[in-house]
A = this chain, B = another copy of it.
């Protein structure tokens, strides 16, 4: 109940609070994973602006951390089988491949963030193309809605 009370008072304008249901239904599960994937989208886009040198690279390390953090949540957000959104049914019918790719993504982005902390962002960015292989997975598992 404490959580529901906090939620009601939670003033972030962006938040679409739903009635407390006690469990996730399909729609909520889809929305939740979309929050994770959109975070990755925004953070990758910010990093892309830095890589293309249109934005100074002062925050590169923070973006790499944010990407690694969101990537660590991504697979888990698909574990509940809730078809819909932009996820193709192959996410669940090819789960072994999908989960391997997502685990690789999480591992590689975590490694990149670690290199950034220990050796600096230039060293970390040597891995960026390999670590952020978003397109390879999206081509197979995402039906993008324009």
**A contact patch SS:** helix
A-B contact pairs, 19 of them (CB 8 A): A3-B51, A3-B53, A3-B57, A6-B129, A7-B51, A11-B132, A11-B133, A11-B134, A11-B136, A12-B48, A14-B44, A21-B52, A28-B54, A32-B46, A32-B49, A32-B55, A36-B42, A66-B70, A69-B69
Cβ-closest 7 pairs across A and B: A15-B48, A7-B51, A35-B46, A12-B134, A11-B135, A7-B52, A14-B41
| Chain A residues engaging chain B, CB cutoff 8 angstroms | 3-4, 6-7, 9-25, 28-29, 31-32, 34-36, 38-46, 48-59, 62, 65-66, 69-70, 72-73, 76, 125, 128-129, 132-136, 138, 144
